[in-house]
Amino acid sequence: MISVRIAAVVFNSPRGNTRANLDRMEDWVAGARAKGAGIVCFPELNITGYGTDAGMQQEAQPVPGLLTERICAMAARHGLVILAGLAEQAGDGRICASHLVVAPAGLLGRYRKLHIAPPEQPVFSAGDRVPIFEACGIRFGIQLCYDAHFPELSARMALDGADVIFMPHASPRGSSEEKRSSWMRHLPARAFDNGVFVVACNQAGDNGAGLTFPGLAMAIGPDGRVIAAEAGGQEGLLVTDLDAARLAAVRSHPMRYFPPHRRPDIYRLAE
């Protein structure tokens, strides 16, 4: 990878207000670009808002579609890569929690959440692909909220060449301090065990549909140490540099880079 400046947005995403959410996104994208970021990441379902009720069917949007076109125009106008989330109409009545990857030249692809949390299962359908994206000189994967609790997914992304894993969240439980404590139990491990950067961000505030989010954004180095964090509780912008030298220092160290020494021949995990 090459060094890259990224931005992670702590964003309030009211339900049923997609147009206003898009309008407000533009201000954060402009702010990220003004600070020199090449990639800006928004939380899970930041465009349509989050919920686990049947009303999410009415929020869902097709990809590609008018909403995608709006994000593409935004990326072109500001000259950076946008990672943004929505409830996606996936066909056959299914909806997915999806995250778009949009470059100034257009849509690069999307990630559909693979692990659906139990409260979400009546509403959302799981994806079935583990894509790796490339932009701004880095290779990266995306995991959405509950996905981050499954170590095999991070290992798969690292083995497929990811330098960075973006982890957008729509996690409404607890205070920002409690959310930070929760993240510190597992996100540094995903970074440290796999020798990758991890960048996480969460929704913030009241979504107008009965949920309140504690915010928080965090960037973690491949050594498992926090590089930068946005305290949370309200909207904010975390901007930090992902330094290629930090990644090289881990991956060139015989005792700090673990993936080359895996023994997949003896791992017999239950299906």
The per-residue pLDDT for range 105-159, each reduced to its tens digit, is: 999 999 999 999 999 999 999 999 999 999 999 999 999 999 999 999 999 999 9
The per-residue pLDDT for range 17-33, each reduced to its tens digit, is: 999 999 999 999 999 99
Is the pLDDT assigned to residue 2 strictly greater than 70? yes
pLDDT given for residue 270 in this prediction: 59
Distance CA 86, CA 62 (A): 10
The pair of three-digit structure tokens given for residue 225, joined into one six-digit string: 């140490």
Q: What is the pTM of this model?
A: 0.96
Q: What is the CATH number of domain 4-255?
A: 3.60.110.10
Which string of DSSP letters, residue by residue, matches 171-227? --SS-HHHHHHHHHHHHHHHHHHHT-EEEEEEBEEE-SSS-EEE--EEEE-TTS-EE
User: Could you state, in order of their start, the residue ranges of all structural domains in the chain?
Assistant: 4-255
Share of the chain above pLDDT 70, in %: 99
Number of Cβ within 10 Å of residue 113's Cβ equals 26
pLDDT given for residue 269 in this prediction: 64
Confidence of residue 232 (pLDDT cuts 50, 70, 90): confident
The per-residue pLDDT for range 19-69, each reduced to its tens digit, is: 999 999 999 999 999 999 999 999 999 999 999 999 999 999 999 999 999
